[in-house]
Amino acid sequence: MTAALALDEVERLQSRVQALEQERKHLLAVIEILQEIGGTLHFADIVQSVALRLGETFGLDRCSIFLAERGGQSVRLVASYEDPAIRNYVVDVDRYPELRRALETGETVFIADAATDPSLTSSRGALAARKVKTITAIPISWRGAAIGAILLRTFRDGPSFAAADLEFCQVVANLTAKALRNAHRFERLQQRRGEDGVLRRRERDQAALLGFMRRLLERSPLALDDDDPAGGHSPELDRLVEVAEAVLNQEAASR
């Protein structure tokens, strides 16, 4: 084997080792994300965990998660790697053309060089000041519709995104979509149970109050009809009970 062939073989093996190491890092990150989002059904915790893990995995300048209302009329920044305090901030989607394209098309938008991309002319100064190299917007989709997106930005002097990195981020976006859907279903179920519980408590309270009023009025002088020595309900007692029932029903309907 010549020296040139040996060198090529070494480089090939090194490249393979690097690819395997990157794959191992991706798998570990997926496991950590699954462990974290699998232990909660609160959407705020889910998106913050994903933003944190992606930011740490790639050493990003920025990793933000956006959710869009139906129809894309309003877009909110719900999690940020660089500022975990941000939870629900309405953004102007026109400031993020890559985000708008990802939400509109449902496809990943990858900008290889933020300094030369024509769609970023208006924000080129700010991006240059932060030394941003690549920008990636990966849609979070559910049933064919983009409900949000993950926005990733790398440093100019850091590693660029490879095809395997983009595939990994798409896997994470899919996991995020499923976790958010489960959280949404859980919250709806809790809300329904809460409403049913409130309704049952109201019904019990009404029944108890009516029973108390009947017992109270039966012990009052109104419970005896002067024309009926044997005793019985007087018209006045019946009228008071009917009024009480009407008031309680009206109160329940207004809540």
Fold of 13-187: Beta-Lactamase (3.30.450)
Smallest CA-to-CA distance from 90 within 73, 71, 102 is with 73
| pLDDT at 198 (0 to 100) | 59
| pLDDT at 32 (0 to 100) | 78
Cα–Cα distance between 213 and 248 in angstroms, integer? 12
| pLDDT at 105 (0 to 100) | 92
pTM of the predicted model over 0.85: no
Mean pLDDT, each 10-residue run in order, the chain (255 residues)? 70 76 76 75 85 88 87 82 87 90 92 90 87 92 89 84 86 89 78 64 64 57 47 54 58 52
| pLDDT at 239 (0 to 100) | 59
| pLDDT at 151 (0 to 100) | 95
What is the 3-class SS of the chain, one letter each residue? CCHHHHHHHHHHHHHHHHHHHHHHHHHHHHHHHHHHHHCCCCHHHHHHHHHHHHHHHHCCCEEEEEEECHHHCCEEEEEECCCCCCCCEEECHHHCHHHHHHHHHCCCEEECCCCCCHHHHHHHHHHHHCCEEEEEEEEEEECCEEEEEEEEEEECCCCCCCHHHHHHHHHHHHHHHHHHHHHHHHHHHHHHHHHHHHHHHHHHHHHHHHHHHHHHHHCCHHHCCCCCCCCCCCHHHHHHHHHHHHHHHHHHHHC
Q: Are 147 and 183 spatial neighbours (Cβ–Cβ below 8 Å)?
A: no
| pLDDT at 70 (0 to 100) | 64
Q: Write down the residue that tokens 């920044």 correspond to.
A: 77
